[in-house]
Amino acid sequence: MKTYIIFGPPGAGKGTQASLIVEKYNLLHISTGELLRSEIRSGSELGKRAAELIDKGCLVPDEDVESMISAKYDQNKDVDGFLLDGFPRTVAQAEVLERMLERRGESVTGVISLMIPDETVKERIRHRAMVENRIDDTKDEIIENRIHEYHSKTEPVADYYKAEGKYIEIDGVGSIEDVFAKICEIL
C-alpha cells in the first residue's frame, strides 16, 4: 500500500491537487483539516477542542489528529494507497506516522511539496475566505499565526523527509492544470 504526502503552507493548493491526484491514482484522500471540520460540525468533544484552536490559527494536539488518521487506515482496505493532506504537520506526527506504517510493514512512499511564497499564501487565503465559509481564513491575525505555525512547526517536517530522500519540491505558483501536470510527472 502506498502512502503519499502532499505538503506545503496553508493555501498552497494541497486540497485542490489532492482531489485530482486521488481520482487519477485510486488513492484515498485523507485531509486532517476536512476531518477536523467534520468533527466540529458533529459537535464531538474532539471537535469542540479543535474549534477553539483552529479559530486562533493554532495547531490541534498531535494525539487528536493521529487517532483520526489511524482510524481512516483501518476503515479503508480496498484502495491502492493513501494521500495525506495536512498531516504530518509536526516532526512528532511524522514519527508517529512512521511507527504506525512500520506496524503494517509499510513506509511513506514520497512527499510532494508545493512551494509558494508567504505573500501568495495570504492572497489565496483571502480569496478562499470569499468562496468557503472558514473562520480561520477571514482574519489577518489568524492567517499570520497559521503562517507562523507553518514555519516554526511544519517546515522541519520537510527536513525529516529530505534526510530520507523522499522529498520532492515543486513550484506551486501557476495554474491548477500546470501544477497537476508537474505532480503527475513525479508520480
**Cα→Cα distances 141→10, 97, 125, 138, 169, Å:** 14, 31, 12, 9, 28
Verify whether residue 89 is a known catalytic residue.
Answer: yes
Cβ neighbour number for residue 10 with a 10 Å cutoff:
22
Q: Which of 56, 72, 122, 134 is catalytic?
A: 134
The verdict on 129 binding ligand ADP (CB under 6 A) reads: no
Which cell numbers in the block locate residue 69? 488518521
**Residue 141 Cβ, how far from ligand ADP at the closest point, in Å?**
13
Task: Give the span between the Cα atoms of 137 and 142, in whole angstroms.
Answer: 7
Verify whether residue 14 is a known catalytic residue.
Answer: yes
Number of alpha carbons in the 13 Å side-chain half-sphere of residue 131: 6
**Residue 11 Cβ, how far from ligand ADP at the closest point, in Å?**
5
Q: Which among 6-14, 22-30, 74-82, 102-110 is the span making contact with ligand ADP, rule CB under 6 A? A: 6-14
Verify whether residue 41 is a known catalytic residue.
Answer: no
Which positions are annotated as active-site residues?
Answer: 14, 89, 128, 134, 146
> Which residues form the interface with ligand ADP (CB under 6 A)?
10-11, 14, 32-33, 36, 53-54, 58-60, 65, 86-87, 89, 93, 136, 146
